[in-house]
Amino acid sequence: MTEACFDTTTSATHRLAIATESATRPAAQHVFTQLYAEAAQATAKHCDGQAKAGLGLGVLHGVCLTIKDNIDVAGETTLSGGVVCAGEAPARQDATVLQRLRSAGAVLLGKTNMSEFAFSGVGINPHHGTPANPADAMQARVPGGSSSGAAVSVALGLVEVGIGTDTGGSIRIPAALCGLVGYKSTQARIPCTGVMELSRTLDTVGSITRSVRACLAVDAVLSQQALPRDAAHLRGLRFAVPQTLMMDDVDATVAQAFARSLRRISEAGAHVVEIPFKPLGDIAALSMPGGFSPIESFAAHHACIERGSHHMDPRVVARMMMGKGISAQDYLALHNRRNAWIAAAHQTLQDFDAMLCPTVPMVAPLTEPLLKDDDAFFKVNRLLLRNPSAINYMDGCAWSLPCHEAGELPVGLMVSGLAGQDAHLARVALALENLMNSLHA
């Protein structure tokens, strides 16, 4: 049986027909790099036939979804939002996560646009265009990255699930800016086999949906390890609110929505405790001289840069080149410093149920100024990545939950836990989502 968090009122074929038609409308421009209309139609018909026979294919039976352009599909070259890899050998088999999705009965509508090589939190793509954030019908705002098309495909209602990757916030950032739910698990939960890497130390596969329960249903398929789906009781829970780094340069809309959320959580009986958590301010220095993403992405993709950097987003090339020439000694020292930092973070957070902060410190910025100005782009990129990337550095797990009011641009509340705390954090996220929904009912 399909989870109640997904639409079961109409056939998979009917839902797919609507999605396929909607995918060609102007609002969906730049969302897809590939559409699988015929294959999706065949899968949807098969799902409907099985359903009529009383034979469910799995937890995602008939659920329409998209996958990010950096995930292998058998017989296709994986381009990861770019063009420089065109002509390379096609993938021999589907990525492990895609194999699991298909086995669970999912209907794959298409591959979605992204920041090239997943190396930006903004979502701008010079090769395939930039999907417009559906939260603002009047002005073009960035969707967030790098899983830009994944988020917009869900926000537009084309699909119920967008599968993305998260190396420094690439699921949670677009979820926050588009008013959706995004989940980044502890890295070890979900295999990245068949996913083009940005940073093998930090890369994670996950989903963007409209609810915590929907993300949990997808995670059960991706990880093959079901998490609890009963909400925790908020009364008595302890939440840490770090005062270092996470609240710097927060805009007025985000500050108001975050303060309102904390007040409501406290009124529900939870203990909200401000803590210094000063080690958060050390991450940038500890990541010198290059950081995991530049070092590991340059190591993985230096051949692409050397033969065709002129075919790549220059902003991506500039960040990858920061990893050139880093010695093995410096790289191992980077890991050692991170491991020591993680141990200190565990000491700070071990007595709390979760950490709360804004997912990102701003609402979605306008697209046009960031297309024209490198300085403006990199400033926004750093701010968007700052909060969520700290959780990747910690090897933690985290949710982004919408916490804005009607009429406001979307704001995300990030709920984070330590590595391996996914089960407890799932129950906490369900409780917080229930609280938010009850206030909006």
For residue 311, give both structure tokens.
């075919």
CB 263 within 8 A of CB 439: no
For the chain, what percentages of helix, strand and coil (3-state, to nearest 5) are there?
A: 45, 15, 45
Write b or e for each residue in 72-102: b if 16 or more Cβ atoms lie within 10 A of its Cβ, otherwise e: bbeeeebbbbbebbeeeeebeebbbbbbbbb
Q: Within 10 A of 348 (CB to CB), how many other CB atoms are there? A: 18
Q: List the catalytic residues.
A: 68, 146, 170
What single string gives the DSSP state of each residue in 348-373? Answer: HHTT-SEEEEESSSSPPPBHHHHHH-
| C-alpha torsion angle, residues 31, 34, 94, 392 (rounded to 10) | -20
CA torsion through residues 96, 101, 107, 111, sign: negative
CA atoms within 13 A on the CB side of 88: 17
H or E element that contains 400: strand 397-402
Q: Which residue has the tokens 């369900």?
A: 430
